[in-house]
A and B are shown apart, each in its own frame.
Chain A
Amino acid sequence: MTELLPQLIASSILLGGIYGLMSMGLTLIFGVMRIVNFAHGEFLMLAMYLAVGLAACGIDPYMGLLIAIPVSLIFGFAVYKCVVSPILDQPHVVQIFTTLGLSIVLQNAALLMWGANFRQLQLPYGDRVILVFGAAITLPQVIAFAAAGMFAAMLFLAIRFTYLGKAIRATAEDRKAATLMGIDTNRICLLTFCVGTACVAVSGVLMAPLYATYPTIGANLALTAFVVVVLGGMGSIGGALLGGMIVGVLDVAGGYAVGTSWKEVLYFIVFITVLLIRPTGLFGIRGAEEFDEAR
């Protein structure tokens, strides 16, 4: 057991970083705009396909981020204008069905375009193992983890210390009051959606070397992302990272202790307990959890 401890700790933390990374875009969109974006997983899947496609053209996926980020900003803008903006003030049922519909469309579009086969991105250096205190880790895991930390720090600082960040927080807290204070909440929403989509794209590209890409991978990962976001607190970047870590530890260490088939039970028990004690999640922005008619 003791010789396995470093590996359990390393695997838990690295997986937590990946969960945190894939949840950051969602927490922005979910927390600020209060739109439950069921197509989040599909955005992730599209980014993974983009990485696989770039690799097929000989472009290293990490260099490919320079392409993926602008592409995702444009994609986010288009989706916002065509799909999200019209439903922003609609009842939640409408929003849920619209984003769910979008997810089905994207999933099937991927199936049509790239087929159902599984594609594992192979990097020449992707599987090289680095031993740290006896724990085996790989470069793509470390990069994903580092990116999660870096993005969390950047977004946290931007939201905490810039005027724009203040406007985003105000919008998350109470959109109507923010409008009355002279904030163009529509622009804030557009910006948040585009930045959120870019975050998802980054996480998708960084996850492509780790997991096989196929049309429904996003749907499989999205549930975990939702748990992480609500656990950490909607709209909270640090919360997404911490929530990711908690789920990562429960996944790996919990899975080791009580069996992998129980891992979801474990994290849902923690999830429900946290929500009972703190309905806003661990670091939720006050007001963000209320699905009210304040808008």
Chain B
Amino acid sequence: MSECLVAMSVDRESSATATFARERIAFFAVALTTCGILLASAAFAQSDIEVGVLLPLSGPMAAEGRRQLNGLEVMREVINERGGIAGRKLGWVVGDAADPTAAINEASRLIAQQGVRLIIGTYSSSLCVPASDVAARRGIIYWEVSCVDPRFTKRGYSNVYRTEINAAGFGWYTTEFIRTTLASRLGKDPRSLRIAFVSEDSAYGQGSTEAAASRAKAIGFKVVSVDYYNRNAITDFAPIILKLKASKPDVVHAQAYTNDAILFWKQARQLDLNVGALVSAGATGFGSPDFGRNLGRFAEGPFVLDEPGGINMKTLSSEAAAMEELVARRYAARYGGEMIGGAAQLGAAGLWILSEVLRRTDGDLDPDRFRQAVMSLDIPVGGMLNGWGVKFGADGQNANDRVQHYMLQWQDGKLVTVWPEKFAVAPLKRVPLPPWRD
């Protein structure tokens, strides 16, 4: 600060000649830069493990991107309250990855200008692949907490990790739920069950739909149709819904982002599409809080594979159960009573696992030491937030069978865990879905 004051007092006394004016500008610039550096270094001193956070905070995915950031924030607060990592606080710089191009640019900025050595992100499958390409090429650790594109961990990068299940896991869980539980409730033999797939056409929708469709065929379900659409251009689901009315599936497997999920279900009602059940996977679309909030009582019934909407606490370790309760309470208090949902839970759980890794490296972000610590983690199901366990494969993917997932159902305006039975907090309801016009 003293430089600033000196600069100003010198300036007041200086004459107004052109040369002086130039000198004055130069002097100010130097003084301001010095002040800036001092302030910046003060900020660094407060949070000395600095990581980058990359999420869509504007654009069409902003709603869920922000929820994921909220989940990360709550978990960071908890970590820092408990003494941080090896006595150092965890801090971050945030980049807005509204679309794949912005994801690449922001990843480059975080690395080159902010000097981060680890990036957490990125909510969407369309963003995680390009952003992590940038990081991997520069030898920066990429810690993915949300996207499900199976290609993410299949590119031979050694510094790319994902805590969340991949799309193949999504497909496994949704079809397993239908095979073991839903089919019998619908009074169908799995081999005669008719299933139709409807999905938005990004990497997220296609990846999870292809995985589910291929396992559905392997089980013996009758796949009656697979329809894709562009979620940004969809203004009318009549063509798809009319086809479904003609093909009469027992179950519709739908993957959507949120605007299209709302429109699809609204039009399903208007056009009187009656199916036994709707099953979806993921924290967005049918799993977004916006779906229930906007459709009210008409949102009742669809199933969503997601993080738990309430969990049988007896299935968790005592530490995980306490954390589950704390994070949900903090989240609701901090974000105006909103229930913690999938996107936020993924952020919080992913960051908790990261903090476990960093504890083992004493906060060191050296890629080799970090990898060693990641590979040494071995936590059984029920040991972490969301009832997850941890065991990373050599490709950087947390094993799908450790990332326990749950079938939630919209009941009384909330997503509640209904399957697997031992984790469930409520029984299945509205199976088959009652006809709309009753």
**Genuine A/B complex:** yes
- Whole-angstrom CA separation of A116 from B64 in the bound complex: 8
B interface residues, Cβ below 8 angstroms from A: 57-60, 62-63, 65-66, 201, 227-230, 232-236, 238-240, 242-243, 245-246, 258-259, 262-263, 266, 269-272, 288, 290, 293-296, 298
Q: Shortest beta-carbon distance, A211 to chain B, in Å? A: 7
Q: By DSSP majority rule, is chain B's interface helix, strand, loop, or mixed?
A: helix
A118 touches which of B57, B240, B258 (Cβ 8 Å): B258
A118 contacts across to B, CB distance below 8 A? 63, 258-259, 262, 288, 290, 294
In the complex, A212 Cα to B238 Cα: how many Å?
A: 17
Known: A117-B290, A118-B290, A216-B59. A7 touches B238 (CB 8 A): yes
Beyond A211-B263, A256-B239, A261-B228, whether A122 also contacts B294 by CB under 8 A is: yes
User: Are A252 and B294 in contact, CB atoms less than 8 angstroms apart?
Assistant: no
Choose from B236, B239, B263 the contact partner of A212 (Cβ within 8 Å): B263
Pick the contact of B238: A115, A214, A252 (CB < 8 A).
A252
- Could you write out 17 A-B pairs with CB less than 8 Å apart? A116-B66, A117-B63, A118-B63, A118-B288, A120-B295, A127-B269, A127-B270, A211-B235, A214-B259, A215-B58, A220-B232, A220-B233, A251-B236, A256-B239, A260-B228, A261-B228, A263-B239
- Closest A residue by C-beta to B291: A118
> Are the CB atoms of A116 and B62 closer together than 8 Å?
yes
Contact, CB under 8 Å: B60 / A264? no
Which listed residue, A120, A220, A221, touches B294 by the CB 8 Å rule? A120
Instruction: Assess A119 versus B229: contact at CB under 8 Å? Given A11-B238, A214-B259.
Output: no
Taken together as a complex, chains A and B put the C-alpha atoms of A111 and B60 apart, in Å, by: 10
Q: Is A44 part of the binding interface, using a Cβ–Cβ cutoff of 8 Å? A: no
A138 within 8 A of B: yes
Interface of A is mostly: helix
- A residues in contact (CB < 8 Å) with B: 1, 4, 7-8, 11, 15, 18-19, 107-108, 111, 115-120, 122, 127, 129, 136, 138, 211-212, 214-217, 220-221, 223-224, 251-253, 255-256, 259-261, 263-264
> What chain B residues lie within 8 Å of A15 (beta carbons)?
235-236, 238
CA distance A259 to B400 in the complex (A): 33
Contact between chains at A136 and B239 (CB < 8 Å) = no
A220 to chain B: which residues have CB within 8 Å?
Answer: 60, 232-233
Q: Are A260 and B270 touching (Cβ within 8 A)?
A: no
Given contacts A212-B294, A260-B228, A221 and B235 within 8 Å (CB-CB): yes
- Contact: A251 with B62, CB < 8 Å? no
Q: Told that A15-B236, A19-B235, A122-B296 touch, could you supply 20 new A-B pairs with CB distance under 8 A?
A: A4-B242, A7-B238, A8-B239, A18-B235, A111-B58, A115-B66, A116-B58, A212-B262, A212-B290, A212-B294, A214-B60, A215-B58, A216-B59, A216-B60, A220-B232, A221-B235, A223-B233, A224-B235, A252-B236, A260-B228
Distance in angstroms from A196 CB to nearest chain B CB is: 21
For A251, what are the chain B residues with a Cβ–Cβ distance below 8 Å? 235-236, 239
With a cutoff of 8 Å between Cβ atoms, the chain B residues found around residue A116 in the complex are: 57-58, 62-63, 65-66
Assembly CA distance A122 to B265 (angstroms): 14
State in angstroms the CA–CA spacing of A211 and B259 once bound together.
8
- Measured between beta carbons, the chain B residues less than 8 angstroms from A115 are 63, 66
Instruction: Tell me the nearest residue of chain B to A138, going by C-beta.
Output: B270
5 residue pairs, one from A and one from B, having the closest CB atoms: A116-B62, A255-B239, A120-B294, A256-B239, A11-B238
List B contacts of A216 (CB < 8 A).
59-60
Which residues from A are CB-within-8-Å of B58? 107-108, 111, 116, 215
Q: Which residue of A lies closest to B226 (CB)?
A: A259
Nearest Cβ on chain B to A260's Cβ, whole angstroms: 4
Q: How far does the Cβ of B244 sit from chain A's closest Cβ, in whole Å?
A: 11
Contacts of B269 in A (CB 8 A): 127
How far is it, in angstroms, between the C-alpha of A129 and the C-alpha of B269 when the chains are bound?
A: 9
Nearest Cβ on chain B to A219's Cβ, whole angstroms: 8
A151 to B304, CA, bound (A): 43
| Closest Cβ neighbor of B271 among chain A residues | A136
Contact partners of A212 in chain B: CB under 8 A = 258-259, 262-263, 290, 294
